[in-house]
């Protein structure tokens, strides 16, 4: 059991950790106050929208010096933004600044907004892309699987649940399917289709 650690690590419950996770106002591991605020360049603007970061005792690739006298020897590497900003390449950017080749994915809370390559979401998990296996949501509550495409391709539902029928990338009731000239097909709660005649 450690009683003290080097300046490059943090003492947590008798162990020296090389990294701590700052979530909003406190470290996940200790409950102590923390900050993710930093400058990406000397004399540059303060990054105020990073609210999820890893904190290190020494500089790492993609990390920046944390701001404030209590954080003199710590470096932060952002991984989540707040205030409606989107995480992309280590920074927090506006939705409009997200490259057209990427998806501006808005997660369940403001800390899960990302600019990332297109992906498929099935039963709450990303099925493709660099964040495969991470949680995701389809925009409609009755959609079980969806594709998040880049730019103008946008979002489309690919499989419905809750006894809804898939019609042109959206989930509809049987009455809406029939009113649209379609034939409701399928049984069970998932995977029903509205077949156009």
Longest dimension (CA), the chain: 74
Boundaries of every domain in the chain: 1-116, 118-197
Query: What values do phi and psi take at 93, rounded to 5?
Result: -125, 165
Residue among 136, 190, 148, 188 nearest 166 (CA):
190
- How far is the C-alpha of 69 from the C-alpha of 127, rounded, in Å? 43
- How far is the C-alpha of 78 from the C-alpha of 55, rounded, in Å? 9
- How far is the C-alpha of 182 from the C-alpha of 139, rounded, in Å? 23
Note if the pTM is more than 0.95: no
Residue among 170, 181, 24, 180 nearest 192 (CA):
170
Per cent of the chain over pLDDT 90 is 56
Residue among 169, 168, 171 nearest 189 (CA):
171
Residue 151 confidence (pLDDT) above 80: no
Q: How does 61-74 read in b/e, with b if 16+ C-beta sit within 10 Å?
A: eebbebbeeebeeb
pLDDT, mean over the chain: 89
* In contact, 195 and 182? CB cutoff 8 Å: yes
Mapped onto helix, strand or coil, the DSSP state of residue 141 is coil
Note the pLDDT tens digit of each residue in 79-136.
899 888 999 988 899 999 999 999 999 877 667 788 999 999 998 999 988 889 988 9
Q: Return the pLDDT at 88.
A: 92
Bigger pLDDT: 185 vs 45: 185
Q: Return the pLDDT at 153.
A: 74
- How far is the C-alpha of 63 from the C-alpha of 189, rounded, in Å? 47
The mean per-residue pLDDT over the stretch 157-166 comes to: 97
The mean per-residue pLDDT over the stretch 156-175 comes to: 96
């Amino acid at each position: 059991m450690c009683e003290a650690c080097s300046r490059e690590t943090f003492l947590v419950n008798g162990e020296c950790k090389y990294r701590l996770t700052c979530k909003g106002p406190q470290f996940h591991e200790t409950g102590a106050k923390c900050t993710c605020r930093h400058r990406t360049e000397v004399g540059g603007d303060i990054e105020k929208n990073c609210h999820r970061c890893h904190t290190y005792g020494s500089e790492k690739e993609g990390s920046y010096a944390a701001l404030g006298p209590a954080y003199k020897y710590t470096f932060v590497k952002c991984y989540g933004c707040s205030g409606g900003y989107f995480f992309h390449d280590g920074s927090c950017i506006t939705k409009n600044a997200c490259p057209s080749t990427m998806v501006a994915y808005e997660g369940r809370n403001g800390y899960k907004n990302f600019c990332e390559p297109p992906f498929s979401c099935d039963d709450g998990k990303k099925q493709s892309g660099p964040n495969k296996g991470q949680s995701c949501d389809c925009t409609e509550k009755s959609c079980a699987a969806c594709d998040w495409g880049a730019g103008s391709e946008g979002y489309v539902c690919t499989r419905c649940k809750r006894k809804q029928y898939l019609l042109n990338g959206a989930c509809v009731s049987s009455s809406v399917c029939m009113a649209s000239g379609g034939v409701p097909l399928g049984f069970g709660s998932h995977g029903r289709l509205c077949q156009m005649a």
